[in-house]
């Protein structure tokens, strides 16, 4: 992945931080499995699996913790 898409973890609001955490998680999947065709083929398997959905939410939550810490938890 040669494009620089993440220049900073700093965001203006917690909502922007959550959006960034979600994007970080999605990009992580793309880096791990670069084939869009394979990702699309596998999507059905995890989209209806509660454990997979909870695991995906956990990855987003961990990334959100990172972004929140980088933003000093949006304290003034």
Q: What is the pLDDT of residues 25-44, one digit of tens each?
A: 999 999 999 999 999 999 99
DSSP 6: -
3-state class of 54 per DSSP?
helix
pTM comes to: 0.90
- How many of the other CB atoms lie within 10 Å of CB of 60? 16
Q: CA–CA separation, 58 vs 53, rounded Å?
A: 9
pLDDT in tens, 47-68: 999 999 999 999 999 999 999 9
Mean pLDDT score of the chain:
95
């Amino acid at each position: 992945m040669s494009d620089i898409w993440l220049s900073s973890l700093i965001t203006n609001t917690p909502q922007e931080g959550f959006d960034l955490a979600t994007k970080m998680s999605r990009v992580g999947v793309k880096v791990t499995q670069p084939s869009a065709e394979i990702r699309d083929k596998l999507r059905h398997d995890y989209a209806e699996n509660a454990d997979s959905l909870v695991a995906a939410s956990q990855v987003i939550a961990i990334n959100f913790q990172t972004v929140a810490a980088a933003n000093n938890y949006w304290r003034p």
